[in-house]
Amino acid sequence: MAGTSAVSTVRAQTSGAINVTATVLSALSVTGTNLAFGNVAPTQTKTVSAATGGTFTVSGAASAPVAVLFTLPTTMGANVAVGTWTGLSNTLNNSGTAAALTVSATPQSLAIGAGGNLYVWVGATLTTTAATPGSYSAPVTLTVVYN
């Protein structure tokens, strides 16, 4: 067949690419000093303010946002109750210029400072009611995760 031409279909093709990226931050670390009520009578109420209470130091990536939450005891033993928690936070190791912080199990957003640290202070009220003499303690846990 003379003069017959085959028609072919050509399809347009294109593609695109994106990069998969991630920035690995330095590991978080938390250290602390105890919230100490000192000596108390068998029946007494004693309060330690956050400014002079226990301290947590969080170290991590500079200026990184974090979420913080607490696991708190309600007692330290029979007839030794602890509660009315108070808190402060600052990117400088100075409780005098720190911002108020709610001490609870509800996550709160904060940020590590430019120097790579975040400081958290906690205080509470201890109430003894005919408590048996002895030494008492219970853990306060600060959990910190990158946002």
Q: What pLDDT is attached to residue 6?
A: 67
Q: Does residue 23 form part of some domain? A: no
Q: What pLDDT is attached to residue 2?
A: 59
Q: What pLDDT is attached to residue 9?
A: 75
Q: What pLDDT is attached to residue 3?
A: 60
Please state the domain count of the chain. 1
Q: Does residue 44 form part of some domain? A: yes
53 CB neighbour count, 10 Å cutoff: 24
Q: Does residue 1 form part of some domain? A: no
| Residue range of the domain that includes 102 | 29-132+139-146
Print pLDDT tens along the chain (147 aa): 556 666 777 778 899 999 999 999 999 999 999 999 999 999 999 999 999 999 999 999 999 999 999 999 999 999 999 999 999 999 999 999 999 999 999 999 999 999 999 999 999 999 999 999 999 999 999 999 999
Render pLDDT for 22-51 as a digit per residue (tens, 0 to 9): 999 999 999 999 999 999 999 999 999 999
Contact 73, 138 (CB under 8 A): yes
Q: Does residue 8 form part of some domain? A: no
Q: Does residue 85 form part of some domain? A: yes
Q: What pLDDT is attached to residue 4?
A: 61
- Looking at residue 34, its amino acid is N
Q: Does residue 20 form part of some domain? A: no
Q: Does residue 3 form part of some domain? A: no
- pTM comes to 0.86
Q: Does residue 18 form part of some domain? A: no
